Amino acid sequence: MRFKPFAPAPGDHAAFGPSEPISKGAVHVCILGGGFGGLYCALALHQRLGKGSRVRITLVEPRDRFNFTPLLYELLTRELAPWEIAPAYQDLLKHTAIDLRQDWAEQINLAEQTVTLRYGDPLTYDYLVVALGSQMRPPATPGSQSHTLPFNTLHDAEQLERRLGELDHLTQVRVVVAGAGPSGVELACKLSDRLGRRGHVTVVDRRGEILRSYPARLQRAAAGALAKRGVEVYLNAAIDTVDASGLTFGYEGNPRHCQADLMLWTVGTVPRAWLGQNMLKQTAFGQCQVRPTLQLPDYDNVFVLGDMASMPAPGRNRAPTTAQAAYQAGPVVAQNLLALIANRPLKPFIYNHLGDMLTLGQREAVVCGFGLCLTGRLGGVSRRWAYWLRLPTYGHRWQVLKHWLGWKR
């Protein structure tokens, strides 16, 4: 389908500037979601446009802080502070012309090229980028929603911190983590280190192995880290119910009840649903089908990326739902937007798997990539710097670096 005509001369994109109201002939790019896909796309677009451009960028994001999710666990052990991993959008965008709307996008009308917001006036776009990420799968296990805590956002980390505070008076704290995927394993190791001798951590998963789909070397390192901390791991254990006292699961043919003072639910996320009436092509996993250029099949001017999109990846079914994939896709979408505006050919997105990293306790991590696998403190240092390089802006990176080097903030 063709979008409403906008006809710049080839190579014209540099001539659009942010100073005019959107209605006065400027091109309006609207980006929904300020996570790894959306924010990094907005920043790359802004950087490429330069001064004097008349492309207007609006970023719609309900939170006030960007969440650098891979480093959320470090808040539990106080290795990092909230400002380091969750900088305010206002600070990140202050030297840019990106217009931040702190709001929820509620409806996308592809035919009218409009987005309805929960609180603000509707937006009209020329080009749309959708990167709304994932959300928790609606819980099917009775009691899980009311008795367990999620761990996906800064808000969840703060909630967990409050709960840990309430348990301060206990001489022994029994923690149960549902799920032995990356989140479950990383949480178990960090909480174990945080609680020290007071902690007794158990991980329960219905599958037969931890970190399914991760390389064997990484699985071994994680299993070693869990064992070193005395974390009890129950595999092939399907959770039946959760109540205030703990959770019950089937294990080796018998029901087993695990008492807990704190329960965390890390099982199952699903891509956020498309906002609107349009019937889009979706995969069985619920992701939007996109072209290799990350455009919607029937709408040239709409790009979808990150967890919501089934992004192509050589040698795989699709790119994984990770920050690594969304972070790589953001700048590609920015480049393709500019190519589309200037009538140039678009480039396909090619996901490049750079490796896997997991934190395995305080200051420890496993980092596997390029044929190497670093573990322990060396892994911890490597992971920390690899993520520092990926923090969203030079300004924020500089603030964090000064802090790490002990210079005044």
Ligand X SMILES: Cc1cc2nc3c(=O)[nH]c(=O)nc-3n(C[C@H](O)[C@H](O)[C@H](O)COP(=O)(O)OP(=O)(O)OC[C@H]3O[C@@H](n4cnc5c(N)ncnc54)[C@H](O)[C@@H]3O)c2cc1C
Footprint on this chain of ligand X (rule: CB under 6 A): 32-38, 60-63, 69-70, 72, 104-105, 131-133, 151-152, 183, 272, 306-308, 321-324, 326
Give the orientation angle of helix 376-389 with respect to helix 394-404, to 10 degrees. Answer: 150
For 314-336, b/e burial (b = at least 16 CB within 10 A) is eeeebbbbbbbbbbbbbbbbbbb
- One-letter identity of residue 50: G
Shorter beta-carbon distance to ligand X: residue 53 or 266: 266
Residue nearest ligand X by beta-carbon distance: 35
Compute the distance between CA of residue 39 and CA of residue 45 in angstroms, rounded to an integer: 10
Contacts of 272 (CB under 8 A, 6+ apart): 132, 133, 134, 135, 307, 308
Q: How far is the CB of 72 from ligand X (least distance, A)?
A: 5
Q: How far is the CB of 254 from ligand X (least distance, A)?
A: 32
Least separation in angstroms between residue 18's CB and ligand X is: 21
Least distance to ligand X, CB of residue 243, Å? 25
Task: Give the residue from 363, 157, 161 showing the smallest Cα distance to 266.
Answer: 157
Which of residues 32 and 93 has its CB atom nearest to ligand X in the complex? 32
Q: Which residue's CB is nearer to ligand X, number 54 or number 115?
A: 115
3-state secondary structure of 197: helix
**Contact (Cβ atoms closer than 8 angstroms) between residue 204 and residue 174:** no
Least CB distance to ligand X at residue 73 (A): 7
Give 60 or 288: the residue with its C-beta nearer to ligand X. Answer: 60
Local structure of 5: helix, strand or coil: coil
5-7-13 Cα angle (round to 5): 125
Q: Minimal distance in Å, beta carbon 14 to ligand X?
A: 27
Shortest Å distance, C-beta 292 to ligand X: 18
**Sign of the dihedral through C-alpha 81, 84, 85, 90:** positive
By C-alpha distance, which of 58, 48, 41, 56 is closest to 6? 56
Least separation in angstroms between CB 60 and ligand X: 5
Shortest gap between Cβ of 256 and ligand X (angstroms)? Answer: 27
Assigned token pair, 149? 């805590």
Residue 53 or residue 296: which is nearer to ligand X going by CB?
296
Instruction: Report the residue number, 18 or 306, with the smaller CB distance to ligand X.
Output: 306
Q: Tell me the pairing of strands 238-243 and 123-124.
A: unpaired
- CA atoms of 318 and 288, how far apart (whole Å): 12
Cβ atoms 89, 100 nearer than 8 A: yes
Tell me whether residue 246 or residue 380 sits nearer to ligand X (CB atom): 380
> Cα(176)–Cα(262) distance, rounded to whole angstroms?
6
* Residue among 92 and 323 whose Cβ is closer to ligand X: 323
- CA separation for the pair 100, 30 (Å, rounded): 10
Residue with smaller CB distance to ligand X, 53 or 321: 321
